[in-house]
């Protein structure tokens, strides 16, 4: 059975229970009584709606609190995956999709009953255009089995075409001012639901940690300065994501232009009239160019680090980190090492064109100082500029006003060739789902998974991720203590400090995976064309997927 067939076989729709039900497996929430399924000592509540379905008049609008109800429903099946292009590394994309996708899942162990439990709420990654809670990598059973004193929640949100699109240039678009950041507003609504209802599952609404990876890491980095989210959580774990994973208003316009061209709409009335099936078809043409959250000057300032620098996030504890070889993830996304080696220099030369001569000289100096194949030199440049240095900047600004931060650097590698410690490789360890080897290659080591889970859980419970025997010092601008997670886990002060000092001034260029205006008329491509090694069209096909799915 293929992965797609397996995912579709897991689908089902929850139903209303008219008769008797096992009250030991039920949780009474403000929008209904939900009955979960037990597996061992763990009870899973799947597919609980946390907002009204964002359909009809609610399409491209902020999420709305669900109606209060005392009706009883099963919570046996995941809600639908948000609309997205099916993609082999986003397993949830093979699960049935739909506009009606605002659902969350809860795992708990009711047998462990020692007062209110800390709550951990996870937001998935997927470049803000893919992903969903149905991905088996995010199944919470093993995590809660290993840590029965924790309640785990995974929450969905609108992605891509439905979650991050700017309609300001479309006639009638002024009626949809929140459309550029709807996925973030969905996450706020999910946290509001958790705050109101998690006690029904045994959780403590005043001890909530939000965590996420990639786009999820970017999301939990934004949420601390969203005023409507204040008081809904007290701790943040950002894995391979930061406020740097955002777009300017200008960058967001390309997606809108491509959407209008693909569907032929003349106004928002036309867009609102399209069926869900039609939108899914149009999504196929534009999903590759999806937006990140927009620095709109309202929810997110043009300088995304500003709220941290102003002390607006100091009320939360933060743990943040990146992986040593983040960019190597895209070896698989581009179809192998050959297109990756051709694509990444083109990305670099496009970014260099946007820099002043001084910035270009810094990049050249960095590359010259690295050893090895040019491909991996450039990859390391992007590891720094897109992931590690933004995480450091975010932690630095957070600490300025007394905020507490902890930094990690993941070095446990994948066994897949050319991947190393790539983007997303830590997820199987964090969730304890080592049998899910899509990123790890082979099954990971249990002792590393046990250690990482204890660190994450200790942070959620106490605000300090230290474990025995690993004392984890707080991060600070002076000592920069960083937990190196490897086969020999240890703390280092200011790792790779020479790279940080050299490249940090380039952060203001806001280098990100946007390639909407990628130019293939650059020296690298011209050289290849002259040598007859690769046609321009082939380069374009490879690069158009660079750093996106």
3-state secondary structure of 117: strand
Positive/negative CA dihedral, 358, 359, 361, 362: positive
Any idea what the Cα angle at residue 353 is, between residues 348 and 357, rounded to 5°? 110
Closest C-alpha among 274, 265, 228, 263 to residue 55: 274
3-state secondary structure of 295: coil
Question: How many whole angstroms separate alpha carbon 276 and alpha carbon 448?
Answer: 43
Crossing angle of helices 523-531 and 536-543, rounded to 10°: 140
**Identified catalytic residue from 69, 127, 169, 214:** 214
**In the 8-state DSSP scheme, what is residue 77?**
S
**What token pair was written down for 154?**
């995974």
C-alpha distances in angstroms, 530 versus 181, 375, 542? 44, 20, 18
Closest C-alpha among 467, 450, 470, 462 to residue 145: 450
Catalytic site includes residue 214: yes
Question: How many whole angstroms separate alpha carbon 472 and alpha carbon 488?
Answer: 14
Question: How many whole angstroms separate alpha carbon 101 and alpha carbon 22?
Answer: 27
Cβ atoms within 10 Å, residue 488: 7
Closest C-alpha among 374, 387, 371, 392 to residue 513: 387
- Active-site residue list: 214
């Amino acid at each position: 059975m293929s992965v797609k067939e397996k995912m579709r076989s897991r689908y089902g729709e929850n139903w209303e229970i008219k008769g008797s039900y096992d009250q030991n497996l039920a949780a009474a929430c403000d929008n209904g009584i939900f009955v979960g399924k037990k597996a061992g000592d763990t009870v899973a509540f799947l597919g609980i709606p946390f907002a009204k379905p964002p359909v009809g008049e609610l399409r491209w609008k902020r999420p709305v609190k669900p109606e209060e109800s005392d009706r009883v429903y099963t919570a046996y099946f995941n809600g639908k995956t948000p609309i997205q292009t099916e993609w082999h590394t986003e397993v949830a994309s093979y699960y049935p999709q739909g506009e009606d996708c605002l659902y969350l899942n809860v795992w708990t162990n009711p047998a462990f009953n020692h007062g209110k439990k800390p709550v951990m709420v996870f937001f998935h990654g997927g470049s803000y255009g893919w992903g969903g809670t149905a991905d088996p990598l995010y199944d919470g059973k093993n995590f809660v089995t290993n840590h029965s004193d924790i309640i785990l929640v995974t929450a969905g949100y609108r992605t891509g075409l439905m979650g991050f699109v700017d309609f300001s240039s479309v006639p009638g678009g002024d009626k949809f001012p929140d459309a550029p950041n709807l996925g973030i507003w969905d996450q706020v609504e999910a946290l509001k639901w958790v705050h109101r209802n998690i006690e029904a599952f045994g959780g403590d609404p005043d001890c909530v940690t939000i965590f996420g990876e990639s786009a999820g890491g970017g999301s939990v980095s934004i949420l601390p300065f969203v005023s409507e989210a204040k008081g809904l959580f007290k701790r943040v774990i950002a894995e391979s994501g930061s406020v740097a994973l955002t777009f300017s208003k200008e960058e967001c316009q390309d997606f809108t232009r491509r959407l209008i061209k693909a569907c032929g709409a003349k106004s928002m009335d036309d867009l609102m009239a399209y069926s869900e099936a039609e939108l899914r078809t149009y999504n196929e043409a534009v999903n590759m160019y999806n937006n990140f959250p927009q620095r709109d000057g309202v929810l997110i300032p043009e300088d995304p680090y500003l709220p941290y620098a102003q002390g607006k996030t100091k009320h939360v504890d933060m743990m943040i980190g990146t992986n040593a070889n983040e960019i190597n993830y895209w070896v698989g996304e581009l179809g192998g090492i050959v297109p990756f080696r051709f694509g990444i220099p083109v990305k670099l030369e496009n970014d260099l064109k946007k820099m002043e001569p001084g910035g270009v000289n810094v990049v050249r100096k960095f590359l010259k100082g690295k050893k090895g194949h040019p491909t991996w030199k450039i990859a390391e440049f992007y590891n720094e500029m897109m992931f590690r240095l933004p995480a450091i900047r975010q932690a630095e600004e957070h600490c300025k006003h007394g905020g507490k931060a902890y930094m990690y650097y993941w070095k446990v590698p994948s066994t897949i060739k050319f991947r190393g410690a790539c983007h997303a490789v830590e997820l199987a360890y964090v969730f304890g789902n080592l049998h899910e080897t899509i990123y790890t290659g082979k099954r990971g080591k249990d002792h590393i998974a046990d250690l990482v889970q204890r660190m994450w859980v200790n942070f959620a419970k106490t605000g300090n991720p230290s474990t025995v025997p690993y004392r984890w010092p707080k991060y600070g601008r002076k000592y920069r203590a960083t937990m190196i997670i490897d086969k020999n886990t240890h703390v280092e002060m200011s790792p790779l400090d020479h790279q940080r000092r050299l490249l940090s001034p380039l952060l203001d260029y806001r280098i990100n995976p946007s390639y909407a205006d990628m130019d293939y008329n650059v020296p690298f491509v011209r050289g290849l064309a002259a040598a007859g090694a690769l046609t321009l069209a082939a380069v374009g096909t490879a690069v158009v997927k660079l750093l996106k799915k």
